[in-house]
Structures are given as structure tokens and as C-alpha cells.
Amino acid sequence: MSATSMSGAAWWQEEPMIQLRRSVPEWRTVVMDAYAMQPSLSLTRPQGQRLWGMDAPTCGYVLDSLVDAGVLTRTSGGHYCRADVLRTLDPVFAM
């Protein structure tokens, strides 16, 4: 058995990820679905980019727009978390 994939790269070498073309509303739905399925999800922008296959400007815009809408909150460490879950876990964020 060969250690190369069909593309010729070794199986352990990552190939560049293909960026998916979606509109901002579609990306918002993808992100909100991820947080709905995993309420305790906490991601930085780079982690979100890798998870969803988004480019940096789009990921930042989508995450920040969800913060502005009150769906997510951004911690001092740069993690994006569900605002309603963070309020129940940390009384400092309670309104």
C-alpha cells in the first residue's frame, strides 16, 4: 500500500482547503447552527476560519455581526461564545 493519496501528496500532508462560496446570511446560518448544536462552543477567529472553511475577513465580519446582534459575545481572550450561555456561566456577564 502506498503512502500517497490519489492527488500524489502523502496522506499525512494537508492539502490546501478550498474556500466555500456562500453569502453572508448563509454563513451566519452555518455559524448559528454550530452554536445551537454545541451551546458551550468557544472559538477564536482562526479556529472559526478552519472549522467553517471561511476566509479571514468574512469570518471576522460574520462573528462580529453576531456579537452586534447579541447572539454571541467576545471574551477578553478573543473567544466567541453564545451570549446566553456565557451569562448563565459567569455572573460578571449577567445583564
Fold held by 24-93: Arc Repressor Mutant, subunit A (1.10.10)
Grid coordinates of 71: 447572539
Edge-to-edge strand list for the sheet holding 42-43:
42-43, 80-82, 72-74
pLDDT band at 60 (very low <50, low <70, confident <90, very high): very high
DSSP 33-94: HHHHH-TT-EE-HHHHHHHHT--HHHHHHHHHHHHHTTSEEE-TTS-EEEHHHHHHH-GGG-
pTM above 0.75?
no
pLDDT above 90 covers what percent of the chain?
62
Domains of the chain, by residue range, sit at: 24-93
